[in-house]
Amino acid sequence: MTTAAGNVSPQYYHGTGRRKRAVAQVRLFTGGSTVAVNGQTLETALPLEGWRSRALEPLRVTGTLGNFSVVVKLHGGGVVAWADALRHGLARALLAFDPELRPTLRQHGMLTRDSREKEQKKNTGSNVLVEPHNTLNAKGGSGQLLASRGTAGLCASLSGN
The pLDDT tens digits of the residues spanning 101-141 come to 999 999 988 888 888 888 888 877 666 556 666 655 555 55
Number of CB atoms found within 10 A of residue 116's CB: 8
Q: Rounded to an integer, what is the distance from CA 26 to the centroid of its chain? A: 15
What are the residues facing 148 on neighbouring strands?
A: none
Domain spans in the chain, listed from the N-terminal domain onward: 12-107, 127-161
pLDDT at 3: 47
Residues shown for the chain: 161
Average pLDDT of span 5-11: 60
Number of CB atoms found within 10 A of residue 86's CB: 32
CA atoms within 13 A of residue 13's CA, in its CB half-sphere: 17
Q: What letter represents residue 153's amino acid? A: G
Percent pLDDT > 70 in the chain is: 71
What are the residues facing 31 on neighbouring strands?
A: 68
Which residues 6+ apart lie within 8 Å of 116 measured at CB? 20
- Whether residue 21 contacts residue 85, with contact meaning beta carbons closer than 8 Å, is answered with no
Q: What letter represents residue 19's amino acid? A: R
Quickly name the fold that domain 12-107 has.
Ribosomal Protein S5; domain 2 (3.30.230)
Radius of gyration of the chain (CA): 27
* Predicted confidence (pLDDT) at residue 42 exceeds the cutoff of 70: yes
Q: What does the CA dihedral 42, 46, 51, 56 come to, rounded to 10 degrees?
A: -20
